[in-house]
A and B are shown apart, each in its own frame.
Chain A
Amino acid sequence: MKKLMAPDELARDGRFVRLNTIDRFSDPRTQRGAGTGGRMGNRLTPDRPGAPDAARNLMHGIFVGEIQALEGAGRTCWDYEVGAGPDDVPFAFKLDMARQCWDEARHCEISVKLGDWMGTEIGEFAETAFLFEAACNPDPVLRLTGVNRALEGLAIDVFNAMREFGVVSGDPVLEFCEDWMLADEVTHVKMGSDWLRRITEKDPERRDKALEFQRIVDKLFSGGGFRGDDEDSPIKLACRFRELAGFTGDEMDELGELSRQSRAEAQAALAARAAGG
């Protein structure tokens, strides 16, 4: 079986349609600032007129993210040999990735049932392959920071936000599902934090490179301030859960700052476009 599979080789049935990154970012409507759904500076709360559909869309994004997380953890189990060399990984690391596969498979099943509950068809919305792309880095340590710490960290924030959405809207199914998946995400991020520390214990340069990759992914997914620690951030940093997952206070402050930078850059870009007509 081949190693290091490319994102465009992911298998999907006819219900799924893949949207590539270029198409996503070249949509002229989002370039004029209409793509945030008013989310920039607006939390996703049940009292918003379009909240139920926004929640359905977001949860479908989570569903395809779960599929890709399963695929990514599975590939990470397979792509590396057991050993102590720079391209090898410890056997216990593979066991953790296998456990994560089991969790992600369960999350896929939960997400399918949650979709049924919310009236969402499988493949109803276009899929992007951001998550799996982060899981394609040839260095397993960069996969740990890009996927387990950055993207699974984002999953902590989103699941926590959607759990709160379920509480406020009185939806017992959404609240319950999110709570269970959130618990697993904390474990996945913790695995990323622990393995990053252990594998790079004697290689600070590799650790710095991995953390830089994490910052890039984090900034990308803070998209225009979508996720941050400001009161009006659509998705708020779930600091308590991140702390449980091995994030330090400094790291969370840095994430908040990245989000503010990202929001400022997006607003500046919009202003520049508006000024240019």
Chain B
Amino acid sequence: MARLVVIPETFTMVNFDHARLVELAEEVAGRVGIPADLEVRVEIDEGSPLGRTKLASVDPVTLWMQGGALENPKVPRTLSDRSVRDVFARLLFRANDRLAPGFAEAPPDDDLTLQQHTAWDTYAVGRSERLGYNPSRQRRLYHFRNRHGFSDVADAVFDRLWSADGLSWADLEAACAETAAGREPAPA
């Protein structure tokens, strides 16, 4: 099983149990298929109640996230198993993709467009659902529609990405191009 190093080791602004967080993250890493000899570094900004996350690096694999992404939205400052599984599955699937040759051409995360980010997230979260996790499909569809358009074309592409396996970066680019072709520019 891959080794997860979660920083900080002690949380002072939120009531997160470090051991539980590592346990959940390692469980997800194992199920996603992160190589057992890989160390994954996780940096958490516990001082932020917001929910931004990113794959900061693949060499070494480094995940960065704001504490709000892992908390229970009903009980602020407490850890939510569902949120942890949701976030780690999405980011670790992306890390795994980046380690594969089919994604060698993908730009760094900071250079991805919102459409590319959302298409990749859809592909990742769809796979996490098939692992038995319980992400909200409708929430992801809403994200996708916001970025790719509220249209039948966008919905069809979403369905395809959600149920896909073995895609490459070229497939995600093609999906983005397909929705872009049917999208009208937003009103000024």
Tell me if A117 and B142 are in contact (CB < 8 A): yes
Tell me if A51 and B50 are in contact (CB < 8 A): no
Q: A49-B52, A126-B75 are in contact. Are A171 and B150 (CB under 8 A)?
A: yes
Q: In the complex, what distance in Å separates the CA atom of A51 from the CA atom of B117?
A: 13
Tell me if A29 and B73 are in contact (CB < 8 A): no
Shortest C-beta distance, B87 to chain A (Å), equals: 12
Tell me if A46 and B74 are in contact (CB < 8 A): no
Q: Which of B139, B141, B146 is in CB contact (< 8 Å) with A169?
A: B146
Q: In the complex, what distance in Å separates the CA atom of A170 from the CA atom of B52?
A: 24
Q: Which of A32-40, A134-142, A190-198 contacts B (4 or more CB under 8 A)?
A: A32-40
Shortest C-beta distance, B2 to chain A (Å), equals: 27
Tell me if B52 and A50 are in contact (CB < 8 A): yes
Q: Which of B67, B139, B146 is in CB contact (< 8 Å) with A29?
A: B67
Q: A17-B75, A126-B74, A169-B186 are in contact. Are A118 and B49 (CB under 8 A)?
A: no
- Residue on A nearest B50 in the bound complex, by CB: A37
Q: Which of B51, B139, B140 is in CB contact (< 8 Å) with A120?
A: B139
Q: In the complex, what distance in Å separates the CA atom of A192 from the CA atom of B23?
A: 55
Tell me if B142 and A34 are in contact (CB < 8 A): no
- Residue on A nearest B118 in the bound complex, by CB: A52
Tell me if B146 and A119 are in contact (CB < 8 A): no
Shortest C-beta distance, A244 to chain B (Å), equals: 23
Kindly state whether residue B136 has any CB partner on chain A within 8 Å. Answer: yes
Tell me if A46 and B49 are in contact (CB < 8 A): no
Interface residues on B, range: 20 to 34
Q: Which of A34, A50, A51, A170 is in CB contact (< 8 Å) with B47?
A: A34
Q: Which of B13, B145, B187 is in CB contact (< 8 Å) with A167?
A: B187
Tell me if B76 and A168 are in contact (CB < 8 A): no
Tell me if B74 and A118 are in contact (CB < 8 A): no
Kindly state whether residue B14 has any CB partner on chain A within 8 Å. Answer: yes
- Residue on B nearest A15 in the bound complex, by CB: B74
Highest count of chain B CB atoms <10 Å: which of A126, A167, A172: A126
Shortest C-beta distance, A167 to chain B (Å), equals: 6
Tell me if A170 and B184 are in contact (CB < 8 A): yes
Q: In the complex, what distance in Å separates the CA atom of A35 from the CA atom of B66?
A: 12
Enumerate chain B residues within 8 angstroms of A32, measured Cβ to Cβ: 47
Shortest C-beta distance, A36 to chain B (Å), equals: 9
Kindly state whether residue A56 has any CB partner on chain B within 8 Å. Answer: yes
Tell me if A168 and B187 are in contact (CB < 8 A): yes
Tell me if B136 and A121 are in contact (CB < 8 A): yes
Q: List 14 A-B contacts (CB under 8 A).
A: A28-B13, A32-B47, A50-B51, A53-B51, A117-B142, A118-B138, A118-B142, A123-B74, A124-B73, A124-B74, A168-B187, A169-B146, A171-B146, A171-B150
